[in-house]
Structure 1
């Protein structure tokens, strides 16, 4: 336990600059094996800390982790969820655990939503009622970079979830945005968060009129998009290859998705494309994009190479910790 206490303490100290970031109050506090703590990630959202457990070892250390977090950081709430993919393999049931003032509680007495900022944009999450940890802070730096291309552009945000890319693009002056997602509730929350930012004067009062949302199968919907309409496309699909055994099918899906985007986007349009599959290497992803362009007779230029922020360190002895790969590309037709 002393060893784990030291590991967690060092992870917190390494991220000391994140506690004073301007206009940002969410970041990763512990990055599982990359921070030498197997099976546990911890994210800070304002005054709340959310953990995802993917190993029985981490599950057995919950109380130890809570005790240290309460002592060092005094969060108003700590929650743990069991990873839906790896948890069952470890014999762990899908459950949410709540801790307040260092002790476990069966039910929250204060169910007030947590509000936090990223890049000056406001977001709101409901305790224990969101997929994964409720918000993907690994894309923080990428959202800032991608949104820098959005001013005056017509944007497609595919796999938008609750609209983090959409909101950052709106803040940077996007002309209009179509947000696609398979979840109706996520899209409703996207629209709610536009109003949240209008109320906080981050966005102008008429910003909502720039956004159209659609619940759909994104792969199918992409095929029906009008050609030469969008200037900027953001492709941020969920993990398509949970394991290396599923990599072959995932590569086909990544190629298909990006080929459709390249075909539909305007001449010299910009695509920000991502993979969060740890089983897929950056070189394999780059090669997939190259083949997609080649099959269409197009050329692509890589403008930016993207990864998770420095609060999600890559441990060289564990290549899977480089799970998030992305490129901003220009499509030359």
Structure 2
């Protein structure tokens, strides 16, 4: 990698907080505007500098790969789907269909491109909706899914936002557990570093109690190893998740 081109996308808020200059673009060498990433056999077209981060959340790589082994023959709901990363792996793993819900029109367009790139579009439904509203609608409609992914944007960007964020996380997990079929899998995440592991588990526990279900914890999930956690910098452990399964 010594001679590999490097593309950087700095966040304005982080730059202001830490006092460094914002850089967006090629900082070493140059490359194409759009690159194609192969992630364990699933391809993603990434337009550099658009979308969030550099256009693909590499911190979820191992968790996306995990879903392929759970999805065969099941209906999958990819909520806050962004560019359909989880749905792509689920469909490649043999899911019967994937329903992708997302509020961003730009992300929806990228999701359609990625699923088409992999020849998976025929088994996918992509909807531009408010995810909170759609989860409620799915519950009212009696929908059932064998695998559900909840990968929302950060609900708590500051400590003062934790109470509202907790209510939001509880709401989406409650709705998801109510539409998860027996034996089904829920992969639920929080990328808000202000929301601790213990708080996130408490929220999910309360949601399960209100949904009158007793899921088992299959695994505790976190960011991929190339996003290291520094013991003395707790903010680096920002992604936490649970893989839950109903009886």
TM-score, length of structure 2 as denominator length: 0.91
**Are residue 74 (structure 1) and residue 74 (structure 2) matched?**
no
CA contact (8 A) 2:218 2:244 kept: yes
Aligned pairs for 1:130-149 (under 5 A) are 130-149=51-70
Q: Residue by residue, what CA displacement relative to the aligned partner does 1:200-236 show, whole Å, maximum 9, x if unpaired?
A: xxxxxxx321100001111111100132421111000
**Are residue 254 (structure 1) and residue 169 (structure 2) matched?**
yes
Aligned pairs for 1:146-161 (under 5 A) are 146-161=67-82
1:117 counterpart residue number:
38
CA contact (8 A) 1:227 1:266 kept: no
Out of 305, 317, 320, which is 2:235 matched to?
320
SS in 2 for 1:98: strand
CA contact (8 A) 1:112 1:126 kept: yes
Unaligned ranges ≥5, structure 1: 1-71, 102-107, 199-206
Give me the whole-angstrom Cα distance separating, in 2, the residues matched to 1:320 and 1:90: 13
Cα deviation for residue 90 of structure 1 reads 5.5
Give me the whole-angstrom Cα distance separating, in 1, the residues matched to 2:186 and 2:105: 25
Give me the whole-angstrom Cα distance separating, in 1, the residues matched to 2:155 and 2:180: 23
Q: Residue by residue, what CA displacement relative to the aligned partner does 1:170-199 show, whole Å, maximum 9, x if unpaired?
A: 11001001001111221222121122223x
Unaligned ranges ≥5, structure 2: none
CA contact (8 A) 2:48 2:54 kept: no
List, as ranges, runs of 4+ consecutive aligned residues in structure 1 with deviation greater than 6 Å. 91-95
Out of 122, 130, 140, which is 1:209 matched to?
122
Larger radius of gyration: 1
Cα deviation for residue 111 of structure 1 reads 4.5
- Aligned length, in residue pairs: 245
Give me the whole-angstrom Cα distance separating, in 1, the residues matched to 2:193 and 2:228: 14
**Cα RMSD for the two superposed structures:** 2.0
TM-score, length of structure 1 as denominator length: 0.69
CA contact (8 A) 1:227 1:265 kept: no
1:181 to 1:275, Cα distance in 2 relative to 1, 3 A: same
Give me the whole-angstrom Cα distance separating, in 1, the residues matched to 2:134 and 2:173: 13
